[in-house]
């Protein structure tokens, strides 16, 4: 059997796209600079040469237009993968993603499935300013009919994207610009990697506190856990991987062991993912808690451009460690 190999997050997304384009002639990729330029973040590198301009389609700067075109294509049996150069730009296509894609099946009386995947980097990157730094997961998680996944590792990026493309419903794959160059171990090229939506992963075992995280906050949590270990605090890390559907059982099983929980999210706190997870924990397993639930998130302000201010606004290992110490009464 072939051995595991190390690749970047960027390569993993590229492999997933190439494999699904090869497997199913109805799959095509469309977005700004995905073809001639090989993708704004070189995620689609080589795909135009391999699959041609009918399968790898460059678009104008017109998110509302090409998102709608993708939905129309899905209605007649194709499987579009729509890339947003950043999910901050998906707000221009909000009507298509929120109003049309998730509602077409119900409003057509079951006549039209919409097997479409919206993907691209989501959340703050580095000094992009307020309008290019949105974490959109809580906006889209509010919408019935949309599925949302948030891969944090190359393996998850590949397995979740392949699953999303094969799903008969609209799926948002929220990647991270800051993670594209990160590396991780993944199955050999001859292995079919599919990761189910709605299945969290135990990224690190621990006994004293559960850290629930996703996307960009996973490496933050792993770094914090290493430092907490030096203080004698053993942190268990649950990577949600999917925001919707949500793997509640994985969260509950961990808290039943540790009895303390800190939620670390890349979005702002008000009406956020962490608030929903908090509600579900307290309504389902309140008696398992030995301390109040803590949350670490962005500050509730527009993202500053200034580097020092941006750092102050974002979640960090230091902020997470302080929250863990508080719930552990350390």
> Considering the entire predicted model, what is its pTM?
0.96
Give the phi and the psi of residue 161 in degrees, each rounded to 5.
-65, -40
25-37 residue pLDDT tens: 999 999 999 999 9
Place of tokens 């080589």: 46
pLDDT of the residue at 295? 97
78-137 residue pLDDT tens: 999 999 999 999 999 999 999 999 999 999 999 999 999 999 999 999 999 999 999 999
Retrieve residue 65's tokens.
């237009």
Cβ contacts of 194-197, under 8 Å, gap ≥ 24: 194/159, 194/162, 194/163, 194/166, 195/155, 195/156, 195/159, 195/160, 195/162, 195/163, 195/241, 196/163, 197/147, 197/149, 197/160, 197/163, 197/164, 197/167, 197/171, 197/242, 197/245
Name the active-site residue from 132, 134, 236, 265: 132
* Level-2 CATH architecture, domain 5-186: 3-Layer(aba) Sandwich (3.40)
User: 145's torsion region: left (phi>0), alpha (psi -120 to 50) or beta?
Assistant: left
Name the active-site residue from 63, 137, 177, 265: 63
pLDDT of the residue at 3? 86
> Which run of H or E residues covers position 165?
helix 154-166
The two domains 5-186 and 201-327 share their CATH topology (first three levels equal): yes
Position 189 confidence tier, pLDDT thresholds 50, 70, 90: confident
Residue 182 has pLDDT above 80, yes or no: yes
Has 63 been annotated as catalytic?
Answer: yes
pLDDT of the residue at 1? 54
Rounded to the nearest integer, the mean pLDDT of the chain is 96
230-269 residue pLDDT tens: 999 999 999 999 999 999 999 999 999 999 999 999 999 9
d(CA 56, CA 30) in angstroms, rounded, equals 6
CATH code for the part of the protein at 201-327:
3.40.50.920
Residue 2 has pLDDT above 90, yes or no: no
Residue 283 has pLDDT above 60, yes or no: yes
pLDDT of the residue at 10? 97
Structural domain boundaries of the chain? 5-186, 201-327
DSSP 128-159: --GGG----HHHHHTSTT-EEE---SHHHHHH
Position 190 confidence tier, pLDDT thresholds 50, 70, 90: confident
């Amino acid at each position: 059997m072939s051995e595991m190999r190390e690749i970047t997050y960027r390569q993993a997304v590229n492999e997933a796209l190439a494999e699904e384009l090869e497997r199913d002639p109805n799959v095509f990729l469309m977005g700004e600079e995905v073809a001639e330029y090989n993708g704004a973040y070189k995620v689609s590198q080589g795909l135009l040469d391999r699959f041609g301009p009918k399968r790898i389609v460059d678009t104008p700067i017109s998110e509302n237009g090409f998102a709608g075109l993708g939905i129309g294509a899905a209605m007649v049996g194709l499987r579009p993968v729509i890339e947003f150069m950043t999910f901050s730009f998906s707000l221009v296509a909000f009507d298509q993603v929120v109003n049309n894609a998730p509602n077409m099946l119900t409003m057509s009386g079951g006549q039209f499935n919409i097997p479409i995947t919206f993907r691209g980097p989501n959340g703050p990157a580095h000094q992009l300013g307020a309008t290019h730094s949105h974490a959109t997961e809580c906006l889209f998680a509010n919408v019935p009919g949309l599925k949302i996944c948030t891969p944090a590792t190359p393996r998850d990026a590949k397995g979740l994207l392949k699953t999303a493309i094969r799903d008969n419903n609209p799926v948002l794959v929220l990647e991270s610009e800051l993670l594209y160059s990160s590396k991780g171990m993944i199955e050999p090229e001859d292995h079919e990697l599919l990761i189910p939506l709605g299945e969290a992963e135990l990224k690190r075992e621990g006994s004293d506190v559960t850290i629930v995280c996703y996307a960009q906050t996973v490496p933050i949590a792993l770094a914090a856990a290493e430092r907490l270990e030096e203080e004698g605090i053993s942190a268990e890390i649950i990577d949600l991987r999917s925001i919707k559907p949500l793997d509640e059982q994985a969260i509950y099983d961990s808290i039943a062991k540790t009895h303390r929980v800190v939620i670390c999210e890349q979005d702002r706190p008000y009406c956020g993912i962490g608030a929903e997870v908090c509600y579900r924990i307290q309504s389902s397993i309140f008696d398992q808690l030995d301390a109040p639930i803590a949350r670490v998130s962005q500050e509730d302000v527009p993202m500053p451009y200034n580097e020092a201010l941006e750092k102050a606004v974002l979640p960090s290992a230091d902020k997470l460690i302080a929250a863990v110490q508080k719930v552990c009464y350390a």
